[in-house]
């Protein structure tokens, strides 16, 4: 009897082991649907959807370059295949690239597998043309989404589905004046503006310079979608040069080399940069700490406790500021408002973490923890530290 029981036990364990050996597929969070930036500051993101012809790309790029503005271009795979040199020009000018499907199909009429195929084909086309990924930003053709679409898009690696709060309707052939009025008369802090690059949007190239000049006069700063959402860009970080900045200090701050910054921005003279100039910082760079009214994008492994600890705020304040009903549940890609001002310190020549900690009533350990510093003996002049 004992032998038979042992035999059946072994068979049962082997059977259960074979079942448990199969991995259970893990699905990502649904893509977050975004219509505007969560900011009270005068910031606006001009965005351009590129279809099959891309007729006005050169004119748009010329204006953006003249005005020293970087924007986000939502690319189709078919358009990338049709005019690859124009797509390369968009990347070379330092603009942000995002996914707008391959064939501009209505995603609400596609299966999850078909949605993934559309996104993957576009990603492959753009990456082979520019070397840059379109993740994590997606814009749905026709702005057509539902919960099924957002789930499939999230599973494909696109954490944010970007809509808009200002639609120029330029694709209808509106005049320059009509396109201008639709933007300037409806602008609010955090606006995401929808425009197009194709021949059908004939009023956009002429309206764009006046739109930019009028919004600048109103005090608006032009940013990419990633910047207005306070999230890292696949193509790197954009830094606006401030008084006292040098390429050396910026290289230290973002932990890249001076030569990498020079190459990424096609700079002729590494000793000359201008206040207000926007520099593309190559590679994966540290996120600047969020400030009051700005948002933090939740990443894998984050908890409310770890975020509160990192930014030296109380857990209760973080919960209250974001009206969170369940503090044990936050989503990857979710934007959280940081409820209090951050105190920042810019490292100067001769500084050490010890001297900074002592002057500001904290410890080296706490300073390193808040700023994610792995080597406490190595800090660079020009780097901005959060003071806990």
pTM above 0.85, yes or no: no
Pick the catalytic residue: 70, 83, 160, 196?
196
Catalytic-residue membership of 239? no
Confidence of residue 283 (pLDDT cuts 50, 70, 90): low
Catalytic-residue membership of 365? no
CA distance 168 to 178: 8
Coil, strand or helix at 194: strand
- Name the E strands within the chain: 32-34, 43-50, 72-75, 96-99, 137-138, 160-162, 166-167, 191-196, 221-222, 237-240, 278-281, 295-297, 335-337, 344-346, 384-386
Considering the chain, what is the average pLDDT of its residues? 82
pLDDT at 87 over 90: yes
Pick the catalytic residue: 49, 50, 170, 245?
49
Confidence of residue 240 (pLDDT cuts 50, 70, 90): confident
User: Tens of pLDDT along 20-74?
Assistant: 444 344 456 789 999 999 888 899 999 999 988 999 999 999 999 999 899 999 9
* DSSP codes, 4-73: HHHHHHHHHHHHHHHHHTSPPP-PPPPPEEESS---SSSEEEEEEEE-S--TTHHHHHHHHHHTT---EE
User: Tens of pLDDT along 357-372?
Assistant: 777 777 777 777 666 6
């Amino acid at each position: 009897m004992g032998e038979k029981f042992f035999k059946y036990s072994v068979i049962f364990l082997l059977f259960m082991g074979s079942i448990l050996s199969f991995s259970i597929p893990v699905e990502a969070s649904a893509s977050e649907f975004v219509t505007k930036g969560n900011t009270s500051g005068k910031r606006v993101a001009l965005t351009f959807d590129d279809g099959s012809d891309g007729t006005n790309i050169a004119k748009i790029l010329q204006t953006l370059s003249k005005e020293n503005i970087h924007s986000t271009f939502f690319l189709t795979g078919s358009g990338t295949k049709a005019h690859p040199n124009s797509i390369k020009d968009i990347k070379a000018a330092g603009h942000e690239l995002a996914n707008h499907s391959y064939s501009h199909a209505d995603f609400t009429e596609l299966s999850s597998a078909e949605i993934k195929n559309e996104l993957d084909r576009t990603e492959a086309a753009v990456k082979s043309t520019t070397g840059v990924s379109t993740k994590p930003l997606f814009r749905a053709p026709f702005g057509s989404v539902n919960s099924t679409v957002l789930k499939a898009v999230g599973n494909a690696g696109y954490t944010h589905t970007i809509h808009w709060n200002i639609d120029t309707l330029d694709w209808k052939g509106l005049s320059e004046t009509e396109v201008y009025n639709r933007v300037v008369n409806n602008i609010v802090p955090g606006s995401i503006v929808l425009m197009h690059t194709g021949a059908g949007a004939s009023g956009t190239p002429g309206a764009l310079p006046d739109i930019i000049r009028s919004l600048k006069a109103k005090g608006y700063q032009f940013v990419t979608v990633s910047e207005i959402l306070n999230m890292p860009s696949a193509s790197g970080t954009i830094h606006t040069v401030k008084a006292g900045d040098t390429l050396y200090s910026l290289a230290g701050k973002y932990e890249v080399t001076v030569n990498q910054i020079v190459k990424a921005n096609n700079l002729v003279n590494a000793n000359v940069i201008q206040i207000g100039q926007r520099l593309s910082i190559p590679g994966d760079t540290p996120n600047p700490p969020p400030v009051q009214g700005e948002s933090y994008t939740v990443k894998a492994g984050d908890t409310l406790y770890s975020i509160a600890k990192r930014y030296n705020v109380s857990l209760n304040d973080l919960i209250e500021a974001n009206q969170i009903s369940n503090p044990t549940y936050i989503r990857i890609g979710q934007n959280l408002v940081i409820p209090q001002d951050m105190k920042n310190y810019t490292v100067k020549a001769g500084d050490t973490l010890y001297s900074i900690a002592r002057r500001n009533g904290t410890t080296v350990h706490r300073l390193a923890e808040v700023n994610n510093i792995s080597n406490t003996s190595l800090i660079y002049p020009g780097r901005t530290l959060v003071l806990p």
